[in-house]
Amino acid sequence: MIQKGTFLKVIDNSGAKNVCCIRIVSNQKYRYAYTGDILLVSVKKLRAKRRFASKVKKGQLIRALVVRTKKKNSYFSGDNLSFFENSVILLKKNNKLIGTRIFGLLPRLLRYSQYMRLLSLCAGIRG
């Protein structure tokens, strides 16, 4: 469950390391965001190696897609899926990816969304 003020880890190569949630864009009626929701985030920390060649700057407001949450996702098959951290992938205004690579695994839930391209860029699929 992600809400306003939650710090999130960025798992793509856009140059950002940590971001903070400002607003939930996809479901404005709800207080919490889950896997597959879009957020408006502020960049808080940049990666050390890519600080000068980063595609984003510190303090910039960007859209982000939630791909991992600590909260368990229950499926109809009886499986429960959770991760160790809350993670996002940064997006442009037209919901295209800023980065070109995704580090780590992504949940199978994203296969049935409009972000099918993410699964070809990640290391594997879980759940």
| Tens digit of each residue's pLDDT, the chain (127 residues) | 899 999 999 999 888 999 999 999 987 788 998 888 899 999 999 988 767 778 899 999 999 999 988 887 666 666 677 788 999 999 999 888 898 888 888 877 776 677 777 777 776 676 6
User: Domain 7-126's class?
Assistant: mainly beta
Secondary structure class of 116 (helix, strand, coil): coil
| Residue that the structure tokens 């580090």 belong to | 103
List Cα–Cα distances, 69 to 13, 53, 121, 125, 126, in angstroms.
Answer: 19, 29, 19, 15, 13
Q: Determine the pLDDT at residue 49.
A: 78
97 within 8 A of 114, measured Cβ to Cβ: no
39 strand-pairing partners: 24, 64
CB atoms within 10 A of CB 50: 15
Q: Determine the pLDDT at residue 30.
A: 84
102 strand-pairing partners: 12
Global pTM exceeds 0.75: yes
Q: Write the single-letter amino acid at 78.
A: G
